[in-house]
C-alpha cells in the first residue's frame, strides 16, 4: 500500500503519466468524432476496432517509458539502496513496485474508459460485454509493457540505455517479430504450424488483437481449414493469458537476475 | 343416479379431450377456413397454436403480442392461395428437421401476389420461403436465427427458390445461415434490408437480373456472394466489417455482366473478391480500410474498375494466380482514386493524374500459397516486408491505372499524427534529459 501511495505521489507530480493519459484521451475523442457518422447499430464495434488500432501504437511505448523510468528513478535518487538495506530484497521490491505501477497507470485509464463509455452512449447502441473485452485487452497490453518497462529500468545503467532498449522493444514487437515470422511463412506446414502459432501469439500485440476481435464476435473462426484449425489450437483468451504469463515471468526474471542497483546520470 | 353418471361421463370426456391444447389450433385453422375469400381476420394479443394453411385469399392482422406458434413438425404458416396479406405477427417453432423431404420455414409461400409485412420470426429453419412464388411483397420483417456459428443446423432468413419479380425491402435479418438466398430466382428487387451476423448476407445462385439497392451488410462471414449469376445490379449497398480469415465484402464467382456501383466496402478482410468472373463493371464504389481492397484471381477477365475510391487498405488490390486478361483499371480515360498512399501530380488540373499509378507487391505469392498470411495483414511489418522485397526486385505489378483520379481530401487521423508527433518531438527535439524529467525524477529538474 505504501508503494502504491508513493508511486501515485511521484507520478502525479511528474508529467509522464499525464502526458500518456492525455494522448490516449485525445486519440479516443478524435476517433469518436470521426466515427460519429457510423451507424447506430454496429458503429460501436467499428469505433472500438479503430480506437484499438490507433492506441496500440502508443500504449506500448508509453508503458515502457513509465515502467522503466519509475524503476530508474529509484536508482537515481538512491531510494532503491535505502529500501533494499532495510528489509526488502530486490524481488519483493520489484513486486511491490510493479503493483504500484499497475494501480497508478490502470486506475486513471479505467476511469477515462468509463467516462468514454458514457460519451459513446449518446452515439451508439452499446454492447457492454464487448466493451469490457476491449478494456480487458487494453489492461493486458498495459500490464505486459509496464512489466517489460520495469525490467528495462532494472538492468539499465543510464537514461540513454533506457531510451535505447525501450525503442528497441517497441520496434521489435511492432515490426521485427512479425517480419521474422513472415519470412518463415512459406515453410509452415501441418507439422510445424503449432510452433509457428506459438511464436505468432508470443507477440502481445497479436495475442491481444486476436482476443479482442474474436471476443467481440467480429473475427469468425468458424469452419476453418485443417491448417488454420491447427494454428488456432486453443482459444484466443488462452493465447492471451499464456502470453501475459510468459512475458510477466520473463520480465520479472530478467529484472531480478540482471538488475543493477546503481544508475548514472 | 343416472343423472350423476351422465354428468361425470361428460366431465371426464372433457378432461380426456384436453380441450385447451387443441382448441386453439383448431380454432385458428377453423376460423380461417370459415372465412370468405378476401376476408380480414384480426387476431388477438395472444398465442395461437399452429400450424396453419391458408387456402383462400384473405388478410390476417395481428398486434404487438400476437404469436402463431408451430408444433415443430412443419411449416408454421403455409400460404397456398394468392393475394394473402399477413401483418404484425410473431411466428415461431417451425420444424428444424433436416431429414424430411422438404425444408421447412416459418412462412412458406407457394403462390403469387401475397404481402408479408411486420412479421417477427424466431426458432425456425428458414424464415420466409418463396417457392415458385412470384410478385410477392416481403417487407419490414424481422428474422432472427441461431447465430453466426451455426450453418448446417439452420436455414436462411429469406429463401427465394424459383421465384421471380418479388419485392423484398426493409427486412432485418440476423444470425441465420444466409441472410437472403436466391436460387434460380430472377428479376427480384431488394431494397434497404439490414443483414448481420450470418454466413453470407446475400447469396445468389443461378439467379439473373436481380436488383439490389441500399442494403447494409455487417459482421457476416461474407457480405454478399454472387455465384453463377448474371446481369445483376448492386447499387448503394454497404458492406461493413465482414471480417474473418476467409471473409469478404462482395464475392463474384462465375458471375458475369454485373453492374456494381456506388457501394461502400469498409473494414472487410477483402473488399471485393473476384474469381472466374467476367465483364463486370465496378464503378464509383468506396473501398476503404479493408485488409485487401480487391482480390482479383487470374481466372477473371474483362473487369472494368472506374471512378472507385480505393484508399487506406493494407493492400489496395492484388492479382493472384497470374494476370487475368483485359482487366481494365480505367474507362473512358477515368481511372480510380487510390488515396494518399499514391501521390499524384496533376499539372493541368483536370482531376486526372499526369502519370499512371502502378502498384507492385510481393505478397501475392504468400497470400496465394499460405492462408495464414491473412493473419499478418494488420501488422505494420507488412510495410517493411513490401519495401525490402521491392528493393530486392521480388515484387510484381498488381495493377496499372493509366488515368488515376486525383485523390480526394484525405480523412486520415490528423489528431493522431499530432499526438504521435508530440511523442517523437519529445524524444528528438527536447532530448533525453527533458524526457527523463518527464517520465521520472518526480518531475523535478535537478
Interface probe for B, chosen from A202, A220, A229, A230 (most Cβ of B below 10 Å), is A220
Helix (H, G, I), strand (E, B) or coil at B311: strand
Contacts of B443 in chain A (CB under 8 A): 13-15
Using CA coordinates, name the residue in chain B closest to A61.
B423
Dump pLDDT digits (tens) for B223-232.
999 999 999 9
- Contact residues, A window 21-40, toward B, CB-based 8 Å cutoff: 23, 26-27, 29-31, 34, 39
Q: Chain A: give the shortest CA distance to residue B372, in Å.
A: 7
Q: What pLDDT, on a 0 to 100 scale, did the predictor assign at position B68?
A: 94
Residue A32 lies in a domain: yes
Q: What pLDDT, on a 0 to 100 scale, did the predictor assign at position B25?
A: 45
Q: Is the pLDDT of residue B236 over 70?
A: yes
Average pLDDT, stretch B296-317? 90
Greater pLDDT, B421 or A28: A28
Q: What pLDDT, on a 0 to 100 scale, did the predictor assign at position B283?
A: 94
Share of chain B above pLDDT 90, in %: 51
Q: Chain B: give the shortest CA distance to residue A234, in Å.
A: 16
Using CA coordinates, name the residue in chain A closest to B150.
A222
Q: Chain B: give the shortest CA distance to residue A250, in Å.
A: 24
Inter-chain residue contact B413 with A159, CB threshold 8 Å: no
DSSP letters spanning B31-57: HHHHSPTTEEEE--SSEEE--EEE-S-
Average pLDDT, stretch A164-168? 93
Inter-chain residue contact A65 with B369, CB threshold 8 Å: no
CATH class of residue range B25-220: mainly beta
Using CA coordinates, name the residue in chain A closest to B371.
A228
Q: How far is CA A63 from CA A2, A50, A147, A176, B202, in A?
A: 22, 20, 8, 19, 45
Q: Is the pLDDT of residue B272 over 90?
A: yes
Inter-chain residue contact A26 with B415, CB threshold 8 Å: yes
Question: How many contacts does A have with B, using Cβ atoms within 8 A?
Answer: 163
Q: What pLDDT, on a 0 to 100 scale, did the predictor assign at position A116?
A: 92
Assess A12–B contact: CB distance below 8 Å, yes or no.
Answer: no
Average pLDDT of chain A? 86
Q: What pLDDT, on a 0 to 100 scale, did the predictor assign at position B434?
A: 58
Q: What pLDDT, on a 0 to 100 scale, did the predictor assign at position B165?
A: 95
Measured between CB atoms, which of A181, A213, A223 is closest to B151?
Answer: A223
> Residues with Cβ < 8 Å from B435, sequence gap 6 or more?
A65, A159, A163, B426, B427
Dump pLDDT digits (tens) for A96-135.
888 988 988 899 999 999 999 998 888 888 889 999 999 9
Interface probe for A, chosen from B175, B371, B439 (most Cβ of A below 10 Å), is B439
Average pLDDT, stretch B42-61? 91
How many structural domains compose chain A?
Answer: 1
Contacts of A149 in chain B (CB under 8 A): none
Which is nearest to B291 in space by CA: B308, B274, B260, B312?
B312
Q: How far is CA A56 from the centre of its chain?
A: 8
Measured between CB atoms, which of B216, B382, B435 is closest to A163?
Answer: B435
Average pLDDT, stretch B97-123? 93
Assess B164–A contact: CB distance below 8 Å, yes or no.
Answer: no
**pLDDT band (50, 70, 90) for residue B24:** very low
Q: Is the pLDDT of residue B14 over 50?
A: no
**pLDDT band (50, 70, 90) for residue B242:** confident
Q: Is the pLDDT of residue B346 over 80?
A: yes
**pLDDT band (50, 70, 90) for residue B78:** very high
**pLDDT band (50, 70, 90) for residue B435:** low
Dump pLDDT digits (tens) for A201-258.
999 999 999 999 999 888 877 677 888 888 888 889 999 999 999 999 999 899 888 8
Using CA coordinates, name the residue in chain A closest to B218.
A42
Q: Is the pLDDT of residue A66 over 60?
A: yes
Average pLDDT of chain B? 85
Residues B230 and B256 sit within 8 Å (Cβ to Cβ): yes
Assess B40–A contact: CB distance below 8 Å, yes or no.
Answer: no
Assess B241–A contact: CB distance below 8 Å, yes or no.
Answer: yes
Inter-chain residue contact A23 with B423, CB threshold 8 Å: yes
Measured between CB atoms, which of A73, A174, A231 is closest to B380?
Answer: A174
Using CA coordinates, name the residue in chain A closest to B382.
A179
Assess B430–A contact: CB distance below 8 Å, yes or no.
Answer: no
Contacts of B379 in chain A (CB under 8 A): 178, 206
Average pLDDT, stretch B304-332? 88
C-alpha B321/C-alpha B303 separation (Å) is 16
Assess A76–B contact: CB distance below 8 Å, yes or no.
Answer: yes
Inter-chain residue contact B366 with A200, CB threshold 8 Å: no
C-alpha B212/C-alpha B188 separation (Å) is 8
The 3 state secondary structure assigned to B365-416 is: HHHHHCHHHHHHCCCCHHHHHHHHHHHCCCCEEEEEECCCECCCCCCCCHHH
Q: What pLDDT, on a 0 to 100 scale, did the predictor assign at position B325?
A: 76
Assess A196–B contact: CB distance below 8 Å, yes or no.
Answer: yes
Average pLDDT, stretch A169-176? 92
**pLDDT band (50, 70, 90) for residue B16:** very low
Q: What pLDDT, on a 0 to 100 scale, did the predictor assign at position B4?
A: 54
Domain that holds residue A124: 2-258
Dump pLDDT digits (tens) for B394-420.
778 888 888 898 876 554 556 666 766
**pLDDT band (50, 70, 90) for residue B101:** confident
Measured between CB atoms, which of B219, B440, B443 is closest to A218?
Answer: B219
Region for B18 from its dihedrals, namely left if φ exceeds 0, alpha if ψ lies in -120 to 50, beta otherwise: left
Inter-chain residue contact B371 with A228, CB threshold 8 Å: yes
Tell me the helix, strand and coil percentages in chain B, rounded to 5. 20, 35, 45
Inter-chain residue contact A217 with B219, CB threshold 8 Å: yes
Inter-chain residue contact A206 with B379, CB threshold 8 Å: yes
Inter-chain residue contact B245 with A224, CB threshold 8 Å: yes
Domain boundaries, chain B: 25-220, 231-412, 418-443
Residue A265 lies in a domain: no
Share of chain A above pLDDT 70, in %: 96
Q: What pLDDT, on a 0 to 100 scale, did the predictor assign at position B427?
A: 60
Assess B242–A contact: CB distance below 8 Å, yes or no.
Answer: no
Assess A77–B contact: CB distance below 8 Å, yes or no.
Answer: yes
Assess B152–A contact: CB distance below 8 Å, yes or no.
Answer: no
Interface probe for B, chosen from A68, A206, A222, A228 (most Cβ of B below 10 Å), is A222
Q: What pLDDT, on a 0 to 100 scale, did the predictor assign at position A77?
A: 75
Inter-chain residue contact A178 with B267, CB threshold 8 Å: no
Q: What pLDDT, on a 0 to 100 scale, did the predictor assign at position B178?
A: 93
Using CA coordinates, name the residue in chain B closest to A16.
B439
**pLDDT band (50, 70, 90) for residue B441:** low
Q: What pLDDT, on a 0 to 100 scale, did the predictor assign at position B8?
A: 57
Measured between CB atoms, which of A10, A174, A222 is closest to B149?
Answer: A222
Dump pLDDT digits (tens) for A182-215.
989 888 888 899 999 999 999 999 999 999 999 9
Amino acid at each position: 500500500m505504501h508503494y502504491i501511495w508513493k508511486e501515485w505521489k511521484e507520478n502525479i507530480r511528474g508529467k509522464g503519466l499525464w502526458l500518456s493519459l492525455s494522448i490516449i484521451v485525445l486519440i479516443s475523442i478524435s476517433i469518436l468524432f470521426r466515427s460519429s457518422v457510423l451507424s447506430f447499430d454496429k458503429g460501436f464495434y467499428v469505433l472500438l476496432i479503430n480506437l484499438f488500432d490507433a492506441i496500440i501504437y502508443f500504449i506500448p511505448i508509453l508503458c515502457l517509458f513509465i515502467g522503466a523510468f519509475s524503476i530508474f528513478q529509484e536508482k537515481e535518487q538512491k531510494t532503491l539502496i535505502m529500501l533494499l538495506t532495510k528489509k526488502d530484497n530486490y524481488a519483493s521490491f520489484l513486486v511491490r513496485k510493479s503493483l504500484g505501477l499497475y494501480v497508478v497507470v490502470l486506475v486513471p485509464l479505467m476511469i477515462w474508459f468509463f467516462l468514454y463509455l458514457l460519451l459513446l452512449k449518446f452515439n451508439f447502441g452499446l454492447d457492454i460485454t464487448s466493451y469490457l473485452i476491449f478494456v480487458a485487452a487494453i489492461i493486458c497490453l498495459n500490464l505486459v509493457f509496464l512489466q517489460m518497462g520495469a525490467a528495462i529500468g532494472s538492468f539499465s545503467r543510464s537514461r540513454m540505455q533506457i531510451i535505447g532498449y525501450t525503442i528497441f522493444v517497441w520496434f521489435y514487437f511492432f515490426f521485427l517479430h512479425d517480419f521474422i515470422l513472415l519470412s518463415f511463412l512459406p515453410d509452415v506446414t501441418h507439422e510445424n504450424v503449432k510452433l509457428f502459432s506459438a511464436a505468432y501469439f508470443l507477440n502481445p500485440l497479436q495475442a491481444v488483437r486476436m482476443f479482442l476481435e474474436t471476443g467481440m464476435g467480429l473475427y469468425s473462426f468458424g469452419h476453418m481449414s485443417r491448417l488454420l484449425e491447427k494454428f488456432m489450437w486453443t482459444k484466443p483468451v488462452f493465447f492471451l493469458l499464456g502470453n501475459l504469463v510468459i512475458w510477466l515471468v520473463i520480465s520479472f526474471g530478467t529484472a531480478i537476475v540482471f538488475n543493477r542497483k546503481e544508475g548514472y546520470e | 343416479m343416472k343423472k350423476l353418471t351422465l354428468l361425470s361421463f361428460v366431465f371426464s370426456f372433457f378432461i380426456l379431450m384436453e380441450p385447451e391444447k387443441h382448441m386453439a389450433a383448431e380454432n385458428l385453422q377453423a376460423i380461417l377456413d370459415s372465412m370468405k375469400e378476401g376476408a380480414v381476420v384480426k387476431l388477438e394479443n395472444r398465442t395461437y397454436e399452429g400450424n396453419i394453411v391458408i387456402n383462400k385469399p384473405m388478410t390476417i392482422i395481428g398486434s404487438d403480442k400476437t404469436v402463431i406458434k408451430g408444433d415443430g413438425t412443419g411449416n408454421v404458416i403455409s400460404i397456398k392461395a394468392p393475394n394473402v396479406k399477413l401483418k404484425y405477427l410473431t411466428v415461431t417453432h417451425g420444424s428444424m428437421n433436416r431429414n424430411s423431404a422438404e425444408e421447412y420455414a416459418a412462412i412458406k409461400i407457394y403462390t403469387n401476389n401475397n404481402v408479408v409485412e411486420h412479421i417477427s420470426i424466431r426458432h425456425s429453419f428458414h424464415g420466409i420461403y418463396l417457392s415458385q412464388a412470384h410478385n410477392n411483397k416481403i417487407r419490414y420483417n424481422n428474422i432472427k436465427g441461431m447465430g453466426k456459428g451455426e450453418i448446417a443446423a439452420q436455414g436462411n432468413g429469406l429463401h427465394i427458390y424459383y421465384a421471380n419479380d418479388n419485392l423484398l425491402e426493409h427486412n432485418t435479418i440476423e444470425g441465420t445461415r444466409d441472410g437472403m438466398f436466391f436460387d434460380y430466382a430472377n428479376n427480384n428487387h431488394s431494397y434497404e434490408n439490414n443483414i448481420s451476423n450470418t454466413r453470407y448476407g446475400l447469396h445468389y445462385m443461378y439467379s439473373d437480373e436481380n436488383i439490389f439497392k441500399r442494403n447494409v451488410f455487417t459482421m457476416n462471414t461474407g457480405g454478399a456472394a454472387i455465384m453463377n449469376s448474371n446481369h445483376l445490379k448492386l447499387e448503394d449497398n454497404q458492406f461493413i466489417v465482414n471480417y474473418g480469415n476467409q471473409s469478404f465484402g462482395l464475392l463474384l464467382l462465375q458471375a458475369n455482366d454485373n453492374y456494381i456501383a456506388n457501394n461502400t466496402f469498409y473494414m472487410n478482410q477483402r473488399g471485393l473478391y473476384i474469381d472466374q468472373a467476367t465483364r463486370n463493371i465496378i464503378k464509383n464504389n468506396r473501398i476503404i480500410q479493408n485488409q485487401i481492397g480487391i482480390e482479383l484471381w487470374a481466372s477473371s477477365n474483362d473487369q472494368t474498375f472506374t471512378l472507385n475510391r480505393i484508399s487506406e487498405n493494407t493492400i489496395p488490390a492484388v492479382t493472384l494466380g497470374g494476370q487475368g486478361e483485359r482487366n481494365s483499371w480505367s474507362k473512358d480515360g477515368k481511372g480510380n482514386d487510390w488515396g494518399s498512399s499514391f501521390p499524384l501530380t496533376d499539372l493541368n488540373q483536370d482531376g486526372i493524374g499526369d502519370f499512371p499509378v502502378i502498384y507492385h507487391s510481393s505478397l501475392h505469392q504468400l497470400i496465394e500459397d499460405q492462408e495464414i498470411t491473412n493473419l499478418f495483414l494488420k501488422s505494420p511489418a507488412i510495410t517493411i516486408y513490401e519495401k525490402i522485397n521491392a528493393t530486392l526486385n521480388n515484387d510484381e505489378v498488381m495493377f496499372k491505372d493509366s488515368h488515376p483520379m486525383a485523390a480526394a481530401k484525405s480523412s486520415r487521423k490528423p489528431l493522431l499524427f499530432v499526438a504521435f508527433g508530440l511523442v517523437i518531438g519529445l524524444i528528438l527535439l527536447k532530448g533525453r534529459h527533458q524526457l527523463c524529467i518527464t517520465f521520472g525524477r518526480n518531475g523535478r529538474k535537478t
